[in-house]
Amino acid sequence: MPLYDATLPMRNGMVVFPGDPPFISEPFLVKDDDNLFNVTQVHMGTHAGTHVDAPSHRLDSAPTVDTIAPDLMVGPGLIVDMRGRHVIDQAALAALDLSGHTRFLFKTDNGPLLLESEFIEDYVHITENAAAYLVRIGARLVGIDYFSVERTGDPNAPVHLTLLEAGVLVVEGVDLLEVPAGPCEIFCLPLKIYGADGAPARVLIRTD
């Protein structure tokens, strides 16, 4: 069964959500006559690249990324083909047979935008009624192929609130360009940063 790496490479100059810290990687030690090893120093925000949102990203006094249950992060899932749609709303989800699945990664027209050198504001996002629908059908993990599940500029972030309040793991910036739609197995492993509201994650997908 094919195994896909759906993780964006972390590099200087990479696109991040507007207002987030940039990703900076620079030498800290360089192997020479005085040093036996190379050591790199990295500066970044917790939501850089492919990453996980912990409940504390949106909710006060909520669980942090280091407390996420492992069985949320790994297990059977579904790559849902939403290409051709401008938004993912309840009607679009209700028209599909999602029964038997609890982990969903949405493959949209966002895919090529991940390769752009600047943040694109007009990306495919999940609506509030779609988020509520996903909670009702028992979703445990919801991911999308751009840097937010939410419409950019929404001051109340209702999609994050709906999903995170229900204990749904939110995964953003997933590179699904080469991943076919359909059933799969998802391995989503964020860095275990104590007390953090999110963390970059390595996301691997094994398809049937």
pLDDT digits (tens, 9 = 90+) for 173-194: 999 999 999 999 999 999 999 9
pLDDT tens digits, 51-81: 999 999 999 999 999 999 999 999 999 999 9
Candidates 76, 71, 104; CA nearest to 170 is: 104
Percentage of the residues of the chain whose pLDDT score is greater than 70: 100
Average pLDDT, integer, range 73-98 = 98
Read off φ and ψ for residue 28, nearest 5 degrees. -105, -45
pLDDT in tens, 122-171: 999 999 999 999 999 999 999 999 999 999 988 899 999 999 999 999 99
For residue 178, what pLDDT is reported? 98
Is the pLDDT at 208 greater than 90, yes or no?
no
Tokens of 140: 């445990």
* Average pLDDT over the chain, rounded to an integer: 97
With bands split at pLDDT 50, 70 and 90, how would you rate the model's confidence at 1?
Answer: confident
What pLDDT is stored for residue 146 in this prediction? 98
Share of the chain above pLDDT 90, in %: 98
Domains and CATH numbers, the chain: 3-8+45-207 (3.50.30.50)
Nearest alpha-carbon partner for 201 in 107, 101, 78, 72: 72
In angstroms, the CA 108 to CA 23 distance is 25
C-alpha span between 99 and 134 (Å, rounded): 11
Question: What is the token pair recorded at 49?
Answer: 């690249």
- Interacting residues of 78 by C-beta distance below 8 A, sequence separation 6+: 98, 101, 103, 104, 105, 182, 183, 184
Q: What is the pLDDT of residue 154?
A: 87
